[in-house]
Amino acid sequence: MNTTGTGEPIVIVGAGIAGMTAAFRLQQAGHPVRILEAEDRAGGRMRTVERRGYHMDLAAILLIENYTQMLNLVRDLGIEDTTLRTNNVVGIRRDGRVHHVRANKPTDLKSSGLLPWSSVPAMRRLQSDLNKFGSRLRWDSDMGEAASLDTETAAAYAERRLDKDFRDYVVDPMSAMFFNSPPDLSVVNFLFSMPAVNSEWFNFHDRVDTLTTALAARLPVETGAEVTLVEETSDGVRVHWSRAGEPDHVEEAAAAVVALPGPIAARLCPGMAPASRTYLENVPYVPDIHVYFGVDNKPSETATCVLFPTREHPDLGVITFNHNFAPGRAPQGHGLLTSYYRYPWAIRHWDSDDDKVVELTHEVHRQAWPELARHIEAHQDMAYVQRWKNAVILRKPGDYARLREFSRGLDPRSRIQLAGDYLAFSATNSSLVTGERAAVRVREVVTAGSVSVGRG
Ligand SMILES: Cc1cc2nc3c(=O)[nH]c(=O)nc-3n(C[C@H](O)[C@H](O)[C@H](O)COP(=O)(O)OP(=O)(O)OC[C@H]3O[C@@H](n4cnc5c(N)ncnc54)[C@H](O)[C@@H]3O)c2cc1C
């Protein structure tokens, strides 16, 4: 069934989780779709590569069971059997020791010895704030309701409501999961991530991009197609794209969903209102550099990841033990570890070549965790450096209010609708939700358009 009335497809720009979810939902509703993707593979920041039998999830790695919309998508794709509930033990390093906390058992913060008895009242205050504000911190929200909470940094909140131990050994290392530090980060990110992480976790057997691969298999994705311009015409959109060695391509479409990081979307959509474009150009992404190490002997650590408070190391944020996250990440008996930095390190070392980054990372391991450094150096059989220029968004206080203004300023009747992580909390599930939302709006626009075409 073609409900656009024109026979033209709806073009989706960007085959990340946001774009492909939009396309899938539109296709389910009977609209012809076509996806244009610049890279030679779909998936964006939910993608996995394989080297020497190691499956490296290049960006997203942690999925939680309160990703309701993602689980619905998994069900609608019929791939439930590719998922499993996984280990959710997080390690936090304090005074050279790893304290183990099950993500859905906040009381482990105390029983593991990470926090002292004196922090119990702070834990209660945090729980009470989460109960009070929880309804404003939802995955399916556009974060508009969270804007009213967005008045201070995570550090200031920790000092005002919690205590020093909580600030240094919970709030600070949690912010490292977003490559940030509490002095920068909005309290909303901390409050949002507490109940989010405080859940059972799930994942896909073998590789996290099982989801994006399943989507791509059901959708017409044109890879190697770098879109350069998306413009609205009187009755549709015109999309310009290029591929090396070919003349420039121009396609007409009924409408478009532009599902790209904000600054790229700004460049491609010059027809947007100036205030909206300025917002998009300045979405505050931070870069990330992280390094994978394959080892031929699995280390004894049982946590999925170990977080490093700034007091333990100023630059290293997290080491993940990918083989503990879910099966299939490393060959039998081997381990796969990944070291993530806080973003200022990535900025400082952006121009260093991969060999240098690996060498620096060994040195950082020696400073932060000497026994593990020795294990990695003795057993390393693979190292791989991954960089993301637009990794995640560093939300400072006031950013969610600006996001709310931006979202309110967008034209719901435009034939160009936006999707992507910058429209919500910067993670896979919220990106997916922005894709679903864009699909609904685009359907309304093309349906109204086909009625008016009929009338004309
Ligand atoms: C290191 C890292 C770790 C993360 N960890 C987690 C995690 O554990 N859990 C979690 O839930 N989230 C995590 N995230 C966040 C999550 O990966 C992203 O929020 C989400 O995948 C973004 O999806 P998206 O579709 O909005 O954007 P993207 O995945 O970036 O998709 C955009 C697509 O557009 C394409 N594109 C760009 N320019 C053009 C163009 N001109 N023409 C055509 N195509 C173009 C890109 O190649 C890309 O495929 C992490 C992110 C990073 C970087």
> Contact 258/418 with Cβ under 8 angstroms?
yes
pLDDT value, residue 143: 80
Residue among 228, 260, 429, 430 whose CB has most ligand 1 atoms within 8 A, to mutate: 260
Q: Closest ligand 1 atom to the C-alpha of 62?
A: 8
pLDDT above 90 (res 183): no
Tens of pLDDT, residues 207-248: 999 999 999 999 999 999 999 999 999 999 999 999 999 999
Question: Which of ligand 1's atoms lies nearest the C-alpha of 241?
Answer: 42
pLDDT tops 70 at residue 300: yes
Tracing tokens 């899938």 back to the chain, one arrives at 24
φ and ψ at residue 413, rounded to 5 degrees: -95, 0
The number of the ligand 1 atom at minimal distance from the alpha carbon of 421 is: 26
Whole-Å CA distances, 78 to 217, 219, 387: 13, 15, 32
Q: What is the mean pLDDT of residues 437-447?
A: 96
> For strand 305-307 and strand 416-419, is the pairing parallel, antiparallel, or unpaired?
unpaired
Q: Mark 345-381 as b/e (b = at least 16 C-beta within 10 Å).
A: bbeebeeeeeeebbebbbebbeebbeebbebbeebee
Distance in Å, CA 45 to ligand 1 centroid: 3
Give the residue, by CA position, lying nearest to ligand 1 atom 4.
60
pLDDT in tens, 127-152: 999 988 888 888 877 788 888 899 99
Q: 339 alpha carbon to ligand 1 midpoint, in Å?
A: 19
Which atom of ligand 1 is nearest the CA belonging to 388?
A: 53
CA of 37 to the centre of ligand 1 (A): 12
Q: In angstroms, what is the span from residue 14 Cα to ligand 1's centroid?
A: 9
Share of the chain above pLDDT 90, in %: 86
Residues comprising the chain, all counted: 456
Q: How far is the CA of 380 from the centre of ligand 1 (A)?
A: 29
**Which residue segments constitute the domains of the chain, with CATH numbers given?**
10-48+208-283+396-455 (3.50.50.60), 82-204+286-390 (3.90.660.10)
- Condensed to tens digits (0 to 9), the pLDDT of residues 383-429 reads 999 999 999 999 999 999 999 999 999 999 999 999 999 999 889 99
The residue whose CB lies within 8 Å of the most ligand 1 atoms, and thus the one to mutate among 11, 12, 35, 45, is: 45
